[in-house]
Amino acid sequence: MVFVKLFHVFPIVFLFIICISKISKASRAEFVTCGTMLKIMNTDLRLRLHSHDVKYGSGSGQQSITAVDVSDDHNSHWLVRPAMGETCKRGSPIKCNTNIRLQHVATKKNLHSHYFSSPLSGNQEVSAYGDDGGEGDSGDNWTVVCNNDYWRRDTPVKLKHIDTAAYLAGSGRTFGRPISGQGEIVGVTSQYGAYTDWQAMEGLFVHPSDLLPHQAAIHTEL
């Protein structure tokens, strides 16, 4: 009787182990997807992209974009949206070289750039722009530059501004009052310049609604 009971139990345990193994593999292969809300960190400066309802005192006078070293600030959340005039299926992985917008969750404005000088370093200004519904203009569009097929959560990417061809970067400089200690975020002309790598960090990641071809045997949910 004991042997019979074990015979029935072991297949269940074996299937459970296989299931856990597949879930573990899936968690290591997750991607940033359309509709994801996340924080992104500059890998060199170890600072997270940030915004707040504080306007620049020079340049465009638009809402400022900075970077902070704390991980639990709600003003560092960004929503991955399709570029203006484009669409993407909620939950679909973002392919490399895809055009996107990053909408600041707290203020509804979009990560933006244009030909104004940044206040501290004199590079290209990066600001937050758009109306209360999150609609701005073509200056809100960025290209995800990466070497994989898709934007992986565990691999840095670069963000290239479409209108001006500048790359999102930190300048290494910090602001004084009223945003003391926060880092300046700028656009630079070369992707090989300092502080141009960004990695997905904390967030609410929307799972792909369809598996990628090489994930046919991987389940992301129990």
Candidates 215, 196, 216; CA nearest to 30 is: 215
pLDDT of res. 3: 43
Whole-model pTM: value is 0.81
pLDDT of residue 194: 86
Residues 6 or more apart whose Cβ sits within 8 Å of residue 177: none
Q: Which CATH number fits domain 30-203: 2.80.10.50, 2.60.120.380, 2.60.40.10, 3.40.309.10?
A: 2.80.10.50
pLDDT in the model for residue 179: 87
The residue whose two tokens read 């990695």 is: 199
Q: Where do runs of H (alpha helix) occur along the chain?
A: 2-28
Mean pLDDT of 43-55: 96
Domain boundaries, the chain: 30-203
Q: Are 75 and 39 in contact (CB under 8 A)?
A: no
Q: Kindly tell me the sign of the dihedral angle through the C-alpha atoms of 71, 77, 79, 80.
A: negative
Each residue's pLDDT tens digit, 199-218: 999 998 887 655 555 444 33
Report the percent of the chain where pLDDT is more than 70.
Answer: 80
Supply the pLDDT for residue 91: 92
- Dihedral through CA 142, CA 148, CA 150, CA 155, nearest 10? -80
Residue 6 has pLDDT above 60, yes or no: no
pLDDT of residue 14: 36
55 Cβ contact partners less than 8 Å away, ≥ 6 residues apart:
61, 62, 63, 64
What pLDDT digit, counting tens, does each position of 82-98 carry?
Answer: 999 999 999 999 999 99
Does the pLDDT of residue 9 top 50, yes or no?
no
| Residue 13, pLDDT score | 39
Question: CB neighbours of 61 closer than 8 A, spacing ≥ 6?
Answer: 55
pLDDT at 19 over 50: no
Helix, strand, or coil here: 36? Answer: coil
164-173 average pLDDT score: 97
Across the chain, mean pLDDT equals 84
Q: Is the pLDDT of residue 17 over 80?
A: no
pLDDT by residue (tens digit) across 57-68? Answer: 899 999 999 999
